[in-house]
A and B are shown apart, each in its own frame.
Chain A
Amino acid sequence: AQSVTQPDIHITVSEGASLELRCNYSYGATPYLFWYVQSPGQGLQLLLKYFSGDTLVQGIKGFEAEFKRSQSSFNLRKPSVHWSDAAEYFCAVGAGGGSQGNLIFGKGTKLSVKP
């Protein structure tokens, strides 16, 4: 069965520091991979997605992620974190192509930003 693991429950970084959030997935075929961000009291906003092509994908708000098939990973990165990036981040895999597009989410990583 498909699954997503986000090993870090909570990460704290200083403003201006670089960030990497880890995501590992389990999926038989080429996965559709997504990163979403959830600010307190808000819905989920898509940061970026990967389903084919260049394994380094650029997203909104200066985020990028790299798909590594050999490591079953899709880590999210940002070179310089801003205080407004404090939120919870979810990695997700599309459960299947064709007619079933629901997402399977990781447990999330909460990001805190120190001034």
Chain B
Amino acid sequence: DSGVTQTPKHLITATGQRVTLRCSPRSGDLSVYWYQQSLDQGLQFLIQYYNGEERAKGNILERFSAQQFPDLHSELNLSSLELGDSALYFCASSVNLAGEDTQYFGPGTRLTVL
């Protein structure tokens, strides 16, 4: 158990819909990262937050957005869903921003878009 929790574990929805994925980081961790894992693209970084502020963006679509709340939990919002958005979405957390900080990964949310 990494100490990072993600809800829900599984999500099945239809194209065009909007979903919200939730992540609670490890106690004391200020940085939260979101990654997408798909068969064709592999593991890709989406976005990073540190202490409530966006710090880095990766290959995140404009239909996707995220935020980190004062209690440090984070939400990833996916809208106008397409079949290709079906993937495993991971949240990770680390203590700070430093590149050598260990990122601890949650169990992921499996999103299926029908």
Contact = CB atoms under 8 A, between A and B. Distances in A.
Interface string B81-114: 0000000001010100111111111111000000
Nearest to B96: A101
Q: What is the interface of chain B mostly: helix, strand, loop, or mixed?
A: strand
| Chain B interface size, under 10 / 10 to 19 / 20 to 34 / 35 or more | 20 to 34
B100 A32 contact: yes
Given A98-B97, A101-B31, A104-B45, A43 B105 contact: yes
A36 B94 contact: no
Interface stretch (B14-22, B50-58, B63-71, B72-80): B50-58
Most chain A beta-carbon neighbours within 10 Å: one of B31, B42, B94: B42
A54 to B, nearest CB: 14
Most chain B beta-carbon neighbours within 10 Å: one of A34, A46, A92: A46
B2 interface: yes
A103 B48 CA distance: 10
Nearest to B100: A51
Nearest to B101: A101
A105 B107 contact: no
Given A42-B107, A45-B2, A102-B33, A90 B99 contact: no
B43 interface: yes
Interface residues of A, number: 28
A45 B105 contact: yes
A43 B45 contact: no
Interface of A: 32, 34, 36, 42-46, 49, 51-52, 90, 92, 94-108
15 contacts: A42-B107, A43-B107, A44-B90, A45-B2, A45-B105, A52-B100, A95-B45, A98-B98, A99-B55, A100-B99, A101-B94, A101-B99, A101-B100, A102-B58, A103-B45
